[in-house]
Amino acid sequence: MSADLSPIDIAKFAAAKRASGFVEDGMRVGLGTGSTAAWLVKCLGERVQDEGLEITAVATSSQTAKQAQEVGIKVSSLNDVKWLDLTIDGADEYDDELNLIKGGGGALLQEKIVATASDRMIVIADSTKKVATLGAFPLPVEVLAFGMPTTQLLLEEMLNGLDVMGNKATPRMAGDALFVTDEGNHILDLHLGRIGNARQLALILNQVPGVVENGLFIDICDVIVTGYGDGTVETRDINSGETDTAQFLPEPVENVFRDAGV
């Protein structure tokens, strides 16, 4: 085991390695964005090289598309593929009902479109992402550049009447400039503390003018693959109710994904 890998890195690798086993030859696969998803792309690239695995991937960001192409994975667009067998992606938080907060990496719009255009969504995460109640992680909301300050005020006013602990919305920055998504939009991060009714909030957020999409993924995830620092992986299928465990430890490698984001 490489000394370069922290327990969190090992957990991310283990979850990605386990999830890569769900991918079968000929599948159309959505690939997520972030550091855990980057491990997945690496694992799938090894299967392409070692086993001759042939898949068509749809990436949820330009960053993931570039990495996938570099490891020999065929990348196409959702416009061409239209529907996917499987999407595998990370999460910033998930609860017992497999509701998610996503968008820490800024790709929530493409991630949600790709996930909902799939027969199944598998989420890969380290054990720190599991929470009793969503909301400690700031909830990303993708918004149009036009009227963004007004949208921010509308969101903060709307949150006052909902079952959340906070109502502060802050524009996401990239250095000294506003963060820009792949679609040319911006992101407001909502600092809620606790989300009492995630389903209600997801529906209401998208009614605010200027909001493109929010980072609450409700009733989308089918399977959660949770990695732990010792390489143990727990896989839970919410539809069948089945849970299994396994262990995956990485070969000594340089941790090239440390700066890839969450």
pLDDT digits over 13-68, tens only?
Answer: 999 999 999 999 999 999 999 999 999 999 999 999 999 999 999 999 999 999 99
Q: What is the CATH number of the domain that holds 23?
A: 3.40.50.1360
My answer on whether 158 and 123 are in the same domain is no
Question: Percent of the chain having pLDDT more than 70?
Answer: 95
- pLDDT over 70 at 3, yes or no: no
My answer on whether 109 and 34 are in the same domain is yes
92 assigned binding-site residue: yes
82 assigned binding-site residue: no
User: What DSSP character marks residue 178?
Assistant: E
My answer on whether 223 and 193 are in the same domain is no
User: Helix or strand or coil: residue 150?
Assistant: helix
- Average confidence (pLDDT) over 147-176: 97
- pLDDT over 50 at 262, yes or no: no
- pLDDT class for 251, splitting at 50, 70, 90? confident
pLDDT tens-digit map of 82-119: 999 999 999 999 999 999 999 999 999 999 999 999 99
Q: What is the DSSP string of 8-76?
A: HHHHHHHHHHHHHTT--TT-EEEE--SHHHHHHHHHHHHHHHHH----EEEESSHHHHHHHHHTT-EEE
Q: Would you call 111 a catalytic residue per the annotation? A: yes
User: Helix or strand or coil: residue 129?
Assistant: helix
The pTM of the full predicted model, rounded to 2 decimals, is 0.93
Domain with 44, as residue range(s), is: 7-130+219-247
My answer on whether 155 and 111 are in the same domain is no
Strand-strand pairing, 84-89 and 28-31:
parallel
User: Helix or strand or coil: residue 259?
Assistant: coil
Residues 6+ apart with CB under 8 A from 155: 141, 169, 188, 190, 205, 208, 211
Q: Looking at residue 89, what is its pLDDT?
A: 98
What is the number of structural domains in the chain?
Answer: 2
Residues 6+ apart with CB under 8 A from 21: none
My answer on whether 21 and 118 are in the same domain is yes
Query: How many whole angstroms separate alpha carbon 75 and alpha carbon 66?
Result: 9
- pLDDT over 70 at 260, yes or no: no
Q: State the number of CA atoms in the 13 A half-sphere of 165 facing the CB.
A: 12
- pLDDT over 70 at 254, yes or no: no
111, 142, 213, 234: which is the annotated catalytic residue?
Answer: 111
91 assigned binding-site residue: yes
129 assigned binding-site residue: yes
Q: Looking at residue 4, what is its pLDDT?
A: 82
- pLDDT over 70 at 257, yes or no: no
My answer on whether 32 and 87 are in the same domain is yes
145 assigned binding-site residue: no
52 assigned binding-site residue: no
My answer on whether 115 and 97 are in the same domain is yes
50 assigned binding-site residue: no
Q: Looking at residue 256, what is its pLDDT?
A: 47
My answer on whether 182 and 229 are in the same domain is no
Query: Are the beta carbons of 138 and 205 closer than 8 angstroms?
Result: no
Residue 252 counted as domain residue: no
Query: Are the beta carbons of 29 and 55 closer than 8 angstroms?
Result: yes
Amino acid at 168: K
Q: Looking at residue 52, what is its pLDDT?
A: 97
User: Helix or strand or coil: residue 143?
Assistant: strand
- pLDDT over 60 at 240, yes or no: yes
Mean pLDDT of the chain: 95
